Amino acid sequence: MKRKNLLVLSAILILSLFLPGFGIFDDITLARHAQKKEHHEIIKMLQPSLDQGDQLSSWRLFFLAGAYYEIRDYHKAITTIELMQKRVDQGDRSAYGADISVYPHVFRGYIYLDQGEPQKAVSEGEKAFKLLHSEGRDRQNFYRSELISICDFWGVALELTGRKEEARKLIDILHNVNSSGQVFAPEKYIALARIYMAKKDYANALASVRNPEAKVAGMLTAFYDQTFQEIPKLYILSKSLFETGNLPEAREGYDQLLGHPQIEQIGGIYWVVLLDRAKIALATGQQKTAEDLLKKAIEVIEKQRSSINSEAGRIGFVGDKQDAYAQLVDLLLATGRYPEAFAYVERAKARALVDLLASQKNIPVRGENIQQVKTNLNQLAQAENELAVVSSGESRDIQNKTRSVIVTLKKELLEKAPETAALVTVQVPTAAEIQSKLKPDETLLEYYTTGKSWYVFILTPATITAQKLTANNLVKDIDDLRRTITFHASGAYKPYAEALYRQLFAPIIPLVKTKKLIVVGHGPLHYLPISALADGKDFLIDHYSIRTLPSASVLSFLQSRTGKFAARKALILGNPKLSDPKYDLAFAQDEALAIEKILPGAKVLLRSEATASYLMHYGDQYPLIHLAAHGTFNLDEPLASALLLAPDKNHNGLLRAADLYNLSLHADLVTLSACETALGKVATGDDVVGFTRGFLYAGANSLVSSLWQVDDRATRDLMVSFYSNLKEMKKDEALRQAQIHVKKRYPHPYFWAAFVLTGSGE
């Protein structure tokens, strides 16, 4: 009896076995479909049995899970994987001499990579590797194939989570796998190429993918068939050629990819191909072609609700969506198209927020028609998930209808709940609409970096212009300013405050005709105490009242609230009692009581009464909320940044940034007087934006926060002055005058420059 074992791996290991002597027709048919990459046929064979309540063997669930993964139907893939795991746990672990018990971990690992959760993929890799080397599995026929599959996704995940040396060890393991003449040889070299891609070692990625045993063809069919499975491999080849400087061959590869009939269904690769092809066009002087390609790439990006389909499990590479916007902004500004460039800057920031909130399971809804809007969101999520699935040829009409449904749902969402729409779609006002929100005595300064250049847009109600800045040392200067500003007995901060003034403000002084500034930062500027910038004689705060916004589009959502300040109810939470005494804020109690005198009738909750539960349940009753509590900012997981309030039986006291988007407030002002970002950690700004945008979305009109924890007495004096000023002044001027008041007693900016007003200045 002749037995021929064939293992076909396409992105993830799809095990196909030809057993002509066994006469098991269904399994042979499944294996043949898998070998031909006919995943929709596998689904047609097996899914009806599951729908009828039949139990499938782990072997057949293996095929079904692999098919769903390959067509990007992650929801059904996960459901099938869980069924397979149950069968494996019940003892159904092998078929025809192959132990397949590692595959639930393998499938999950690839899916976690594609869904932007490499840390979870690392965990699955660890479990799979341990399982593979237990109970004699390392002596079975398929050990090497399974080892390659595990090292593939695990190596990429390790690299993406910064565990570079461990990823390097897996590369060594793969190199040591004897694959000469073996059917699994192509997947060994593709696995190596993926890990090298994750490492951005494109020379070795190219060498791997061009190894004769990798069998990566350079041509794709022009008609629908299963060659969409080869798209990731051809992308790896083309990307490696591009990054190693072989532009002609890279262009040829990218053009083949763009000509494939199903490339548009694989959005996670499609926009990256468009972006790289645009860069080649720019490098060869084809500006118009580059502009068209970049706009198409951004269109594809903005059709995706989240960053879920990164394709990292298939190409070992996570593209930077912001790079597409940056390239286009550079191009538009070079030709003086300021309003259009500004619109794309705002779209870039809107997209960054959508990606930041992509992990939110339930998007909160504000305003009227709440149930109707929730239904709309659910329908939108379902339609977008369906569109992400690679369709069979016969279902392409259905895909086109789904696209139309998505367009309609987004339009309805924008009309019914524009602020909610901003969390899940890229919908921004035009430059002219932003200008219409500005008052005659205001100038909006929006800063933006493309990575290689810094720009500032200057907007008034009547004009818009932009200027390129000379800011070669900006990040270092911000870092040095934040570090030296804590030396409040010295002038060590001065060179950096003056250098930043020269880089960010001096070039645009002739264009700024008002004393009120609205500053929209980008990246490291979110950590900058802008009021401390100095010209050598005066600070910026001496001449301008300043408020900030996370994006200019937020102007559209700020509410106009009226009523006398002193008559408004206030909630004051001070010095929450935490488990560690080092977090005690003794001054906060004095501060809270001092503010209570300015705001008669305020609800003051101190120590164990200053709970997160109270704020979450009763915060919507207070127009003014003052929180004197510590905050922790998480650069790696911005939505895990949290306010540390007192715990009780109902809540652990951690009010995370993610929770803010589900909070309902009606506050004209929220003040965080002791919540500081970590000094010295200048990063993307996502941690700060996630927090401030969260309070604004929760219903706060304005937010006062601090960039570092200031001296106790200075904080109390500033806050008392600020609230006193609010009786007669608008918020931006009230804060400015409070800072000037403290500056007279404590001239060093450490004592007063930390405080920032975000949102409305009214």
pLDDT digits (tens, 9 = 90+) for 386-432: 666 655 555 556 666 666 666 676 676 666 766 676 666 667 788 99
Within the chain, what is the greatest distance between any pair of CA atoms? 96
Kindly tell me if the per-residue pLDDT of 10 is higher than 50.
Answer: no
Structure tokens at 363: 């998007």
pLDDT tens track for 620-657: 899 999 988 887 777 777 778 888 888 888 888 888 88
**Of the candidate ranges 212-216, 342-346, 361-365, 461-465, the one whose mean pLDDT is the lowest:** 361-365
Distance CA 425, CA 436 (A): 23
pLDDT given at position 390: 58
Given this chain, do its domains 4-197 and 216-418 carry the same CATH topology? yes
With H, G, I as helix, E, B as strand and everything else as coil, classify residue 668: coil
Kindly tell me if the per-residue pLDDT of 335 is higher than 90.
Answer: yes
Kindly tell me if the per-residue pLDDT of 565 is higher than 60.
Answer: no
pLDDT given at position 11: 32
**Are the C-beta atoms of residues 294 and 327 closer than 8 Å to each other?**
yes
Residue-wise DSSP of 101-115: TTHHHHHHHHHHHHT
pLDDT more than 70, % of the chain? 82
The DSSP call for residue 288 is H
pTM: 0.83
Distance CA 209, CA 234 (A): 9
**Of the candidate ranges 130-144, 365-379, 543-557, 689-703, the one whose mean pLDDT is the lowest:** 365-379
3-state secondary structure string across 385-451: HHHHCCCCHHHHHHHHHHHHHHHHHHHHHHHHCHHHHHHHCCCCCCHHHHHHHCCCCEEEEEEEECC
Q: Bridge partners of 518?
A: 444, 547
Distance CA 573, CA 610 (A): 5
pLDDT tens track for 128-187: 999 999 887 777 778 898 999 999 999 999 999 999 999 999 999 999 998 877 778 888
Distance CA 298, CA 294 (A): 6
Average pLDDT, the chain: 83
Per mean pLDDT, which of 128-132, 265-269, 365-369 is the most reliable? Answer: 128-132
Is pLDDT larger for residue 137 or for residue 610?
Answer: 610
pLDDT tens track for 87-107: 999 999 887 777 889 999 999
Distance CA 379, CA 387 (A): 12
pLDDT given at position 19: 31
Q: What is the pairing mode between strands 516-520 and 442-449?
A: parallel
> Which CATH code for domain 216-418?
1.25.40.10
Look up the CATH superfamily of 4-197. Answer: Tetratricopeptide repeat domain (1.25.40.10)
Structure tokens at 532: 């401390």
pLDDT tens track for 419-468: 676 666 667 788 999 999 999 999 999 999 998 899 999 999 999 999 99
**Of the candidate ranges 105-114, 375-384, 591-600, 668-677, the one whose mean pLDDT is the lowest:** 375-384
Domain assignments of the chain as residue spans, ordered by start: 4-197, 216-418, 565-759
The DSSP call for residue 286 is -
Half-sphere exposure of 59 (CA within 13 A, CB side): 15
Residue 501: which pLDDT band, with cuts at 50, 70 and 90?
A: very high
Instruction: Look up tokens 């394709």; give the residue.
Output: 311
pLDDT given at position 12: 32
Kindly tell me if the per-residue pLDDT of 619 is higher than 80.
Answer: yes
Distance CA 195, CA 205 (A): 8
Distance CA 716, CA 417 (A): 39
Distance CA 444, CA 342 (A): 12
pLDDT given at position 591: 84
Residue 377: which pLDDT band, with cuts at 50, 70 and 90?
A: low
Half-sphere exposure of 762 (CA within 13 A, CB side): 15
Instruction: Look up tokens 């004051």; give the residue.
Output: 572
Kindly tell me if the per-residue pLDDT of 381 is higher than 50.
Answer: yes
pLDDT given at position 706: 86
pLDDT tens track for 722-758: 999 998 999 999 999 999 999 999 999 999 999 999 9
With H, G, I as helix, E, B as strand and everything else as coil, classify residue 575: strand
Torsion of CA 662, 76, 137, 22, to 10 degrees: 170
Q: What is the pairing mode between strands 654-656 and 642-644?
A: antiparallel
Structure tokens at 759: 């949102």
Distance CA 100, CA 411 (A): 47
Q: Residue 506's closest CA among 456, 563, 546?
A: 456
Radius of gyration in angstroms for the set of CA atoms belonging to the chain, rounded to a whole number: 29
pLDDT tens track for 11-67: 333 344 333 333 345 777 877 777 777 788 888 889 998 888 888 899 899 989 998
Distance CA 457, CA 467 (A): 7
CA distances from 174 to 26, 139, 395 (A): 33, 17, 39
**Of the candidate ranges 13-17, 156-160, 199-203, 477-481, the one whose mean pLDDT is the lowest:** 13-17
Q: What is the pairing mode between strands 624-628 and 570-576?
A: parallel
Is pLDDT larger for residue 205 or for residue 428?
Answer: 205
Kindly tell me if the per-residue pLDDT of 380 is higher than 80.
Answer: no
Kindly tell me if the per-residue pLDDT of 606 is higher than 60.
Answer: yes
Q: Indicate the class that CATH gives domain 565-759.
A: alpha beta
Kindly tell me if the per-residue pLDDT of 220 is higher than 60.
Answer: no
**Are the C-beta atoms of residues 615 and 572 closer than 8 Å to each other?**
no
Distance CA 288, CA 232 (A): 28
